[in-house]
Amino acid sequence: MDYKYQARNQRGDKKEGVIRAINEDAALRELQKQGLYVVALSLAKQESIWKKEIVIKRKVGAKDVVAFSRQFAVMIKSNIPIVSALQALAGQTDHPVFRDVILDVATRVEEGLSLSRSLSEHPKIFSKFFVSVVQSGEASGRMGDSLEYLADHLEREYKLKAQIKGAMIYPAFILVVAIMAVIVLTVVVMPNLIKALEQFEEDLPAVTKVVMGLSGAMTSWFGPVILGGLVVLIVLIVRWFKTPRGRTTLDRWVLKIPLGVGDFFQKFYLTRFSQNLSVLIESGLPISEALKITGEIVGNSVYQDALERIQTRVIRGERISTAMKSYPRLFQSFVVQMIEVGEQTGQLGSILIKVVDFYQDDISRKVDNMTSLIEPILILLMGAMIGFLVLSVFMPIFSVQMAALGG
């Protein structure tokens, strides 16, 4: 919020202006820090909707949090006080919502709350994983190192997701163009051609009859009914997949997709598991607690259930690698062997990072291979669909022309 103030500096000069803060107390403290003696402080009046700049609030994205984490880690390792670092970061960000959140965190820390507790007040931006790493850094006195581990982790995960999303943009574009082309040809172009085809006295080919029937259905009342039914069906399926039972079913199905797709997703989840567990262990969190948090954020309910069971066995005294051997379909032997080496050498965190590097390289290769394979397949499918429609129109015309030439 914006506050209008009147104040005097140490020389008695009058100062006026507007300051942005989360509340009136925070605004007052900020002005006092600047060496000003506040005479009057009030909430700035909102401008008319016609004069005020229209600002579209966008969601705080992963990229914003990644940049914040890296800059915050550098500042803390440079021995800058937490509140000063937060205030400086709030001034640097151009995201208005995120700026207010950072200022709120700074205010809470200044009032005596811990950094982790202050961050936890904004769960939509700072995940439980984020808060746990910070909390571990507070407990161990290694806040700078913990934030550095956290920044490295967030950057790795952001790059991995961005690579996968980027690889899917072009195939998705081709698919949408193909569907739109078929709809336009069926609904706009074909009805006019059908009128001409219906004048032919000869029996039309089966392919032409199929396309004529499809076009007739799409341009009549039956077409919107079919499309509406499909939309309703898709909405119901999506809602069901958001239920606990539906989510578990989807997560199991994803891991069983043939043609190497299920293996790709398995390696993606193993990468997230190894990366999250590594950061939590390196930041000083107990292994049992690290397993619990990792299970909650790995992104697959099947892995979450397995990690909860593994956590229970670890609490009873078993090693992680021993417990993982009970789930060979989820945890590949390479992961189990590397974790076993890490437990024996006492370097589990650094060993897990090597697992992450190995799988990320493998995932990158698979993404490139899948993209290079999907693109020509989609192009062929698009050509086949459009070719089918064109062929259905021109076959009767060719038949008539050949009959005329023969006559």
pLDDT in tens, 30-46: 777 777 777 677 776 65
Report percent pLDDT > 70 for the chain.
85
Confidence of residue 188 (pLDDT cuts 50, 70, 90): confident
Hey, what are 66's tokens? Answer: 């990644």
Per DSSP (E only), the strands in 24-137 are: 37-43
Total Cβ atoms within 10 A of residue 259 = 9
How far apart CA 130 and CA 133 sit, in angstroms, is 5
In terms of C-beta density within 10 A (0-12 exposed, 13-18 middle, 19 or more buried), how is residue 148 classed?
A: buried
Q: Which of 119, 171, 122 is nearest to 147 (CA)?
A: 119
Exposure string for 314-324, b = 16+ CB within 10 A, e = fewer: beeeeebbbbb
pLDDT at 133 over 50: yes
pLDDT at 48 over 60: no
Confidence of residue 81 (pLDDT cuts 50, 70, 90): confident
Which of these ranges, 100-114, 115-129, 130-144, 338-352, has the smallest mean pLDDT?
130-144
Instruction: Give the mean pLDDT of 347-358.
Output: 83
The chain-wide mean pLDDT, for the chain, equals 78
pLDDT score of 401: 62
pLDDT score of 45: 61
More confident residue, 16 or 292: 292
pTM of the model: 0.63
Q: Domain ranges in the chain?
A: 2-43, 62-156, 174-407
pLDDT at 131 over 70: yes
Question: How much is the CA Rg of the chain, to the nearest whole Å?
Answer: 31
Which of these ranges, 38-47, 207-216, 243-252, has the smallest mean pLDDT?
38-47
Which of these ranges, 33-47, 115-129, 319-333, has the smallest mean pLDDT?
33-47
Q: Which of 34, 51, 42, 47 is nearest to 18 (CA)?
A: 42
In terms of C-beta density within 10 A (0-12 exposed, 13-18 middle, 19 or more buried), how is residue 226 classed?
A: exposed
pLDDT score of 59: 75
Under 8 Å between Cβ of 301 and 362: no
Beta pairing class for 37-43 and 2-8: antiparallel
Instruction: Give the mean pLDDT of 272-298.
Output: 82
**174-407 maps to which CATH number?**
1.20.81.30
Domain 62-156 and domain 174-407 have a common topology: yes
Say which CATH superfamily domain 62-156 falls into.
Answer: Type II secretion system (T2SS), domain F (1.20.81.30)
Under 8 Å between Cβ of 293 and 280: yes
Under 8 Å between Cβ of 304 and 317: no
More confident residue, 406 or 76: 76
Total Cβ atoms within 10 A of residue 361 = 10
Distance spanning both ends of the chain, measured CA to CA: 87
How far apart CA 29 and CA 51 sit, in angstroms, is 30
Hey, what are 122's tokens? Answer: 């904004």
